[in-house]
Amino acid sequence: MSAAEGPLVVGVDTSTQSTKALVVDAATGQVVASGQAPHTVSSGAGRESDPRQWWDALREALHQCGEAAHEAAAVSVGGQQHGLVTLDEHGDPVRPALLWNDVRSAPQARRLVDELGGPKAWAERTGSVPGASFTVTKWAWLAEHEPEAVRATRAVRLPHDYLTERLTGLGTTDRGDVSGTGWWASGTEEYDEETLAHVGLDPALLPRVVRPGEVVGTVRDTHDLPFSKGTLVAPGTGDNAAAALGLGLRPGTAVLSLGTSGTVYAVSRRRPGDPTGTVAGFADARGDWLPLACTLNCTLAVDRVAALLGLDREAVEPGGSVTLLPYLDGERTPNLPHASGLLHGLRHDTSAGHLLQAAYDGAVHALLGALDLVLDADADRGTPLLLIGGGARGTAWQQTVRRLSGRPVQVPEARELVALGAAAQAAGLLTGEDPAAVARRWNTAAGPVLEAVEQDAETLERITGVLSDASPLLERGTEARPRTQGRAADIED
């Protein structure tokens, strides 16, 4: 292990597919050890995971860190947002967690919006208009489809809450993650009693919302974990809020995160409330706000298209007039939970490379459509976009974002920004600093800047037109339709 200048801290990223742990020098930001372990997600109609896999993965990732984890003075967990974790009286999962990209609750989302005052009222009260990803809609789905699971539930948690509670024995959450549930009022920063009563959720089942910078507790010594006695536990937060901390993000700078899902967000000092539902009015982990738009289909969907075509993910070909909307898992932005992928404009001269480029274009188009909505009106539109996530270092992703945005793009050299943000939060407990200031001291956002190129307005307009024309079809999705009746079936040779 490299000699550290300051105390060591651990930052955790429990994402959809795996859990990662970084041991970081709080003085310099140097990563001195790391570990990672996978967990599984169900396929089929829903997207579910057993929370106990997250704990097992965390234990494995920490043990991979070796002695460095034992020397750490504080730990914090950043996690995938929105997931519904239901626990029984023993703290064991009642059923697998319903994850953010499980869209079975789309009907419940529509009903909740209508029954509690409509989109404008939701945006004013909670900052967001809930879609199928929001936790409140998943609870409503569970109550309707699995009432026995609801009756057995004695605690309701988010993914990062679950791991934090396993560490400390205390049920807590933070404002950044809880703002994505749909049952937390952003105006009062308290649980919303009207919403909870409407969906039949007892507030006593929910965790305490801790303050930014508060020490949640210490790691219990009842676990086979490599922590020393008295290791402090920070509040943790949702993955996007953690990444914002990890970048030391200031107001006016937009982030495009290219992962399984795509997100675009910025820090704001104004409480957001978009009645169209495009922008979610999340809180950040510090006391400001994090207006954010999310797409369900990003790198995973584009990689699937590449695999179907038998191409490497970088084997794009410019030109062509084909449009591909890669909505393979339904879509959240635009709000089309039942949609599937759509291909338009196929011609004899369309190549496989054209199709792959069209998949990139369709994914980026959805993100850029929300870019101006997450930025404050007085933000400098010439500031480079920060490109992060698994796709950020891909040349095809970089060039597509540059071409369709017409803006410079900066790619931070720091990796694992969610875990780094959690580590900065843990470091803040020790130093008394704002975690974002810690990350700026670590210089995590440093990286090459790719200059702006002329915006490809023609492609943007073409995709927008196809999306508009195809919306009725996309809204119906792949539900069974009655067969066309007529005389054609009776024609004989």
CA geometry: angle at 362 spanning 78 and 266, to 5°?
40
| Per annotation, catalytic residue among 161, 192, 239, 284 | 239
182: Cα separation from own chain's centroid: 15
Do residues 184 and 161 touch, judged by C-beta distance below 8 A? no
Instruction: Look up 13 and say whether it is catalytic.
Output: no
Question: Which residues are the active-site residues?
Answer: 239
